[in-house]
Structure 1
Amino acid sequence: IKQQQSVIRRYVGYMPEDDCFIPELDAVSFTSYLGELSGMPRQEAMKRAHEVLFYVGLEESRYRNVETYSGGMKQRLKLAQALVHDPKLIFLDEPTSGLDPRGRNEILDLIIDISLKKDIQVLISSHILPDVELTCSYVVILNKGKIATQGEISKLKEIRDLYEIRAIGEIEGFLHKLRDMNCKVEGMEDGILKVYLPPDQNRQEIFRIAAEEKIQLRHFVKSETSLEDLFVKVVGMD
């Protein structure tokens, strides 16, 4: 890495979570300067700066001082500078952090467009799991700095069946036996329980335990597992 820093810089783009703008620069100057730092000639960097600023929707404000930008505009500018040198790989660190719903959707649409229509691999680091599920096909989940699980999201979500249950009665013994059979149980609103059933167990076991504990099951529906559900399964509620 030390011997090929310029090569790596040319092929890798990075969108940081924190703002790191140069005071008193407008968006065009800032973006073109980052292009030059990535090895582009000045004229080419300036041309590409205009192109990527148009792409992220900042064409009308590209000559404004960056310090006057809103939070959403700054996020789009950070994405533009990550793209200016036409990298093969971009790292996006919390790209939707702090955005309102409209700004979040605009950034997500750009990320999806980049990953589908441009020859660029996208790696996202984010705690906003619905955004990851929307934009990514492969995920690595970390827990305390170690890999808890990884794989294609669609396949990982099939690891356990998820059921929503409304149980009526004294449920302490019922919950205890569910956990003994390696189910994860999470409480929801309105008395609904989320029960994650491991692959080696059959849902009929839930009915059997309910009968043993004299529990009435008034609601029993299989639910689609989300990435948040998967996170709870592999990391827990801590």
Structure 2
Amino acid sequence: MHILATEGLTKRFPTVTALDSLTVGVGPGVTGLVGANGAGKSTLIKIMLGLLPPSSGTARVLDLDVGTQGERIRRLVGYMPEHECLPPDVSATEFVVHLARMSGLPRTAARERAADVLRHVGLAEERYRPIGGYSTGMKQRVKLAQALAHDPKLIFLDEPTNGLDPRGRDEMLHLIRRIGTEFGISVLVTSHLLGELERVCDHVIVIDGGRLLRSSAITEFTQATQSVTVEVEEGTEPLAERLLAAGLKVSRHGRTLLVGVTGPQTFDAIRDAAVDLDLCLIRLEQARHRIEDVFREEEAGV
């Protein structure tokens, strides 16, 4: 079952084509939509919400047509926008209650729901303070809370980690994963930070210049390669030289080496070299493909 699907979806603006014949389907769970800034991610979400008409092609969300049933889609879907959009002079509670009521919840139910979602995103204590005094991380949490206020079946999160420090990004990603696993709400999350999506998503869609590059389960992106990652405390360069002299294929990436595996003897060679050079071996693990490999393949014309 698809929670959203497009067929030949195209959106042209006077100077740019934001989406170019995009055909893709998204199932339940947490799906990542990855691409560089300007790749068409935000445009796709706005079309899915019925806020922006496509130039051609079709799109459906929860089996509803975006062209004719946009209002109904917006009642069933939560949306966390990328840009700053919060009123500074009201509290988080007032704001979330207001949007919950706009989604059709009665006043009492809206207040109860607002308290629940603000507690869920970690704003139980601060929810009565004016939003203008919030940090960037707290404001992102308010935007997430309002997207959940009406108990949607699906939420669109547009660059939810923007402006956050590493700890704030980790906490936001943990919240997103919980939404998809514990609460059973499907999630479409956009990001230009590839590593983030590998951490939280079940499925990833890669687009570039409005075109689909790949749509796959995350396990297919991160499947094991025929290489091993080697990290030592010191002595990376002499270790690389020793392994190259042994006839192995080696490439250096900062403090780590990527060594091509030709058989069990490769691991023996790495072990013996580390012992001979009296090196402290920190890591020896099977390397895995990453999402950014898709972009490298595209640039190389693979």
TM range, normalised to the smaller chain?
A: 0.7 to 0.9
CA contact (8 A) 2:224 2:289 kept: no
CA contact (8 A) 1:17 1:97 kept: yes
Pick the aligned partner of 1:227 from 264, 281, 290: 290
Distance in structure 1 (CA, Å) of the matches to 2:288 and 2:210: 24
The SS at the match of 2:192 is coil
Superposition pairs of residues 47-196 of structure 1, within 5 angstroms: 47-158=112-223, 161-162=226-227, 168=241, 188-189=253-254, 194=258
> Is 1:41 equivalent to 2:106 in the alignment?
yes
Gaps of 5+ in 2: 1-65, 231-238, 267-272, 275-283
CA contact (8 A) 2:80 2:158 kept: yes
Matched AA of 1:122:
V
Matched AA of 1:130:
G
Structure with more relative contact order (C-alpha pairs < 8 Å, separation 6 or more): 2
The SS at the match of 1:150 is strand
Gaps of 5+ in 1: 172-177, 179-184, 208-217
CA contact (8 A) 1:53 1:62 kept: yes
Q: 1:235 to 1:30 in 2, by over 3 A?
A: farther
Q: 1:227 to 1:64 in 2, by over 3 A?
A: same
CA contact (8 A) 1:6 1:39 kept: no
Q: CA deviation at 1:129?
A: 1.7
Distance in structure 1 (CA, Å) of the matches to 2:68 and 2:286: 51
Q: 1:159 to 1:147 in 2, by over 3 A?
A: farther
TM-score by length of 1: 0.73
Q: CA deviation at 1:4?
A: 2.7
CA contact (8 A) 1:24 1:67 kept: yes
Distance in structure 2 (CA, Å) of the matches to 1:28 and 1:138: 33
Pick the aligned partner of 2:91 from 3, 26, 40: 26
Deviation readout 1:192-231 (Å, 9 max, x if unpaired): 6658x8xxxx959xx9xxxxxxxxxx89x77421534534
CA contact (8 A) 1:88 1:120 kept: yes
TM-score by length of 2: 0.59
Distance in structure 1 (CA, Å) of the matches to 2:296 and 2:262: 17
Matched AA of 1:126:
S
| 2:46 paired residue number | none
The SS at the match of 1:95 is coil
Distance in structure 2 (CA, Å) of the matches to 1:23 and 1:43: 24
Distance in structure 2 (CA, Å) of the matches to 1:31 and 1:86: 12
Q: 1:110 to 1:143 in 2, by over 3 A?
A: same
Distance in structure 2 (CA, Å) of the matches to 1:58 and 1:122: 21
Q: CA deviation at 1:157?
A: 2.9
Q: CA deviation at 1:47?
A: 1.9
The SS at the match of 2:288 is coil
Q: CA deviation at 1:142?
A: 1.3
Q: CA deviation at 1:162?
A: 4.1
